[in-house]
């Protein structure tokens, strides 16, 4: 009865909006103006909603990190209660309510784009819907409340893709045809732009990672989306850079071998991190009962708590504090333990099966590698920062296999245009070594697993174009 009332309410809202939009259509005299306005409006509305959701999510994420640090400050051993409990809650939310909300969210977005077909039945709703938005946020917040070494950027992309798909679904019948696939691609770009405040990174990511479609088919939509989502986020939060303005030094050719060493090590570490995440994911899924998987998740929580006890608070959270320490403190003392802390802390967190992103943890792990190896070359402080940025770029490339996106992201979040060639150099060698280890990225392999898990085509499925209440 309650579900029926909810669907009736949604139908009334949709009829009202359809009527209002039909009235607006009759008021527009020029067919060309009308079509242009109606074609761009869904992208603009979705971009604004995406930015507002991303800003709210970022604020909640930061609050959870703060509360976790407060909890640990009361007594360090409380992490042995908080981590297993929160990891279990994070996993249970995904397992019970939205299995496709697990992990980063980028493989789900890639899978949704691949199965979105304008002519046949659309199955993208399995990866992008309102339920996933809610569970993605709740699960990742539970994980980070327990100290989980995860980020919010990957989840923001799946959330953004869901927002765009919902907006597309609500378009009335008279609306000019808007491509469902382009809406999802645009959502990914807008989500990355809002999450990192990196509009160029959003555009490059859409081209490099999300689609094989020619850019001419979606360039205007993506450009509009990243501008509106980025400006809306800045309107709420004010102008900002994700990391600020670290001091770096432009170097000559004789310095490049140092960047090469760090790029090779960081790229290899990123590829091995992905290999480990795939193995632990396979182990968890091989446990056929919820009880067995729950015990596995509790074990991950206890191992994570042990890492915190052994290595200190460096293990906790997204790692942004580590990035700020390495880039802005006057004197730093990079250690191998920081690398181990960030690498295994993130790996164990991902192994638990809850929702959580990989971008920020990858950047912090790469910074730890670049900082530790970089000190061997006795660099100046500005040169050391450049080596740290190279490690960040190469490790992220090793994880994502998107060298251009990685270089542009690090460039935009630090505003260090003077070292763009050095960052691309690091990304290129990080990509080469990662491809030598595994020809496919973590995202690509997870996307294939998700597609293989879809029900058979001949099985009955809910109609994604009907109001579905909580499952929009």
Residue 341, pLDDT above cutoff 90: yes
Count of alpha carbons within 13 Å of 364, Cβ hemisphere only?
30
Please give the Cα distance from 49 to 160 (Å, whole number): 9
3-class secondary structure, 357: strand
Average pLDDT over residues 379-405: 92
Q: What does the pLDDT read at residue 213?
A: 56
pLDDT of residue 97: 93
Query: Would you say residue 461 has pLDDT above 60?
Result: no
Q: What is the 3-state secondary structure (H, E, C) of 3-45?
A: HHHHHHHHHHHHHHHHHHHHHHHHHCCCHHHHHHHHHHHHHHH
Residue 221 near residue 392 (C-beta atoms within 8 A): no
Q: Alpha carbon of 73 to those of 61, 66, 76, 79, 338: distances in Å?
A: 19, 11, 6, 10, 20
Structure tokens at 393: 């770029």
Give just the sign of the alpha carbon dihedral 390, 391, 394, 400.
negative
Read out DSSP for 86-126? HHHHHHHHHHHH-GGG-B-SHHHHHHHHHH--SSS---GGG
- Of the candidates 357, 304, 377, the residue with the CA atom closest to the CA atom of residue 155: 357
Question: Residue 317: which region, alpha, beta or left (left: phi > 0; alpha: psi -120 to 50)?
Answer: left
Q: Is 237 helix (H, G, I), strand (E, B) or coil?
A: helix
Computed over every residue of the chain, the mean pLDDT equals 85
pLDDT at res. 464: 41
d(CA 329, CA 381): 10
pTM given for the model = 0.85
Of 1-5, 299-303, 408-412, the poorest mean pLDDT is in 1-5
- For residue 419, is pLDDT > 70? yes
CA 361/CA 153 separation, integer angstroms: 10
For residue 472, the model assigns a pLDDT of 38
Query: Which residues contact residue 152 at a Cβ distance below 8 angstroms, ignoring those fewer than 6 apart?
Result: 57, 58, 61, 140, 195, 318, 357, 360
Distance CA 160, CA 405 (A): 18
Closest CA to 50 of 199, 215, 247: 199
Token output for 388: 């740290």
What is the dihedral sign for C-alpha 191, 54, 445, 360?
A: positive
More confident site: 464 or 452 = 452
Q: For residues 422 and 382, is the Cβ–Cβ distance under 8 A? A: no
In order of start, what are the domains of the chain with their CATH numbers?
Answer: 38-241 (1.10.3080.10), 253-452 (1.10.3080.10)
* Res. 15: pLDDT tops 50: yes
Is the pLDDT at 415 greater than 50? The verdict is yes
Q: pLDDT tens digits, residue range 205-229? A: 877 777 755 555 566 677 777 777 8
Average pLDDT, integer, range 293-318: 92
The residues pairing with 357 across neighbouring beta strands, listed in sequence order, are 151
What's the confidence (pLDDT) of residue 138? 96
**Which positions ≥6 away from 373 have C-beta within 8 Å?**
261, 262, 265, 387, 391
Residue 58 pLDDT > 50, yes or no?
yes
Predicted local confidence at residue 467, as pLDDT: 38
Q: What is the pLDDT of residue 399?
A: 93
50 alpha carbon, distance to own chain's centre: 13
Enumerate long-range contacts of 8-16, CB under 8 Å, 24 or more apart: 10/467, 10/469, 11/467, 14/170, 14/172, 14/467
| Whole-number pLDDT of residue 82 | 94
CB-CB neighbours of 438 under 10 Å: 17
| Angle of the 442-452 helix axis to the 106-115 helix axis, nearest 10 | 50
Is the pLDDT at 421 greater than 50, yes or no? yes
Q: Which residues pair with 355 in a beta bridge?
A: 103
Residue 322 near residue 367 (C-beta atoms within 8 A): yes
The label of the residue with tokens 């790029």 reads: 263
Q: Give the residue among 129, 161, 111, 186 at the shortest CA–CA distance from 443.
A: 111
Query: Is the per-residue pLDDT at 466 higher than 60?
Result: no
**Helix, strand or coil, per DSSP, at residue 4:** helix
Share of the chain above pLDDT 90, in %: 44
pLDDT, one tens digit per residue, over 175-193 is 878 888 888 888 888 888 8
pLDDT digits over 231-274, tens only? Answer: 777 777 766 667 778 888 888 888 899 999 999 999 999 999 99
Tell me the average pLDDT across 119-146: 88
Query: Residue 187 has what pLDDT?
Result: 87
Percent of residues, the chain, with pLDDT higher than 70: 88
pLDDT above 70: residue 470? no
pLDDT of residue 170: 87
pLDDT for 208 equals: 76
């Amino acid at each position: 009865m309650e579900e029926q009332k909810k669907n009736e309410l949604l139908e009334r809202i949709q009829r009202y909006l359809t009527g209002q939009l039909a009235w607006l259509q009759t008021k527009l005299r020029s067919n060309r103006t009308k079509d242009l306005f109606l074609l761009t409006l869904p992208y603009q509305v979705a971009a604004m909603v995406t930015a507002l959701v991303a800003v709210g999510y970022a604020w909640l994420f930061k609050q959870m990190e703060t509360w976790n640090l407060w909890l640990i400050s009361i007594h360090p051993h409380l992490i042995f209660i908080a981590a297993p409990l929160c990891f279990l809650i994070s996993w249970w939310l995904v397992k019970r309510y939205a299995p496709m909300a697990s992990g980063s969210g980028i493989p789900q977005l890639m899978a949704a784009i691949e199965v979105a077909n304008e002519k046949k039945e659309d199955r993208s709703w399995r990866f992008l819907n309102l339920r996933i938005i809610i569970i993605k946020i709740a699960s990742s917040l539970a994980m980070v409340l327990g100290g989980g070494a995860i980020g919010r950027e990957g989840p923001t992309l799946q959330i953004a893709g869901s927002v765009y798909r919902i907006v597309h679904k609500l378009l009335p019948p008279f609306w000019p045809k808007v491509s469902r696939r382009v809406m999802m691609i645009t959502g990914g770009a807008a989500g990355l732009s809002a999450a990192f405040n990196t509009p160029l990174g959003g555009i490059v990511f859409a081209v490099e990672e999300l689609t094989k479609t020619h850019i001419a088919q979606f360039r205007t939509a993506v450009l509009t989306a990243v501008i509106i989502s980025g400006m809306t986020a800045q309107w709420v939060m004010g102008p900002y850079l994700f990391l600020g303005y670290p001091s770096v030094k432009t170097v000559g050719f004789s310095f490049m071998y140092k960047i090469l060493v760090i790029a090779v090590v960081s790229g290899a570490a990123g590829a091995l991190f992905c290999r480990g995440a795939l193995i632990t994911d396979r182990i968890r899924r091989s446990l056929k009962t919820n009880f067995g998987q729950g015990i596995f998740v509790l074990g991950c929580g206890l191992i994570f708590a042990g890492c915190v006890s052994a290595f200190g608070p460096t293990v906790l959270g997204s790692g942004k504090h580590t990035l700020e320490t390495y880039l802005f403190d006057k004197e730093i003392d990079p250690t191998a333990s920081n690398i181990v802390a960030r690498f295994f802390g993130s790996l164990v967190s991902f192994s638990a099966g809850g929702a959580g992103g990989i971008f920020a943890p990858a950047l912090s792990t790469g910074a730890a590698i670049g900082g530790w190896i970089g000190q061997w070359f006795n660099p100046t402080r500005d040169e050391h920062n450049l080596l740290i940025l190279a490690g960040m770029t190469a490790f992220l490339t090793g994880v994502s296999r998107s060298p251009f996106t990685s270089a542009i992201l690090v460039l935009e979040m630090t505003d260090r245009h003077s070292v763009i060639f050095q960052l691309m150099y690091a990304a290129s060698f990080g990509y080469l070594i990662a491809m030598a280890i595994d020809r496919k990225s973590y995202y690509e392999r997870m996307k294939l697993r998700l597609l293989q898990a879809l029900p058979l085509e001949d099985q009955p499925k809910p109609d994604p174009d009907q109001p579905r209440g909580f499952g929009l």
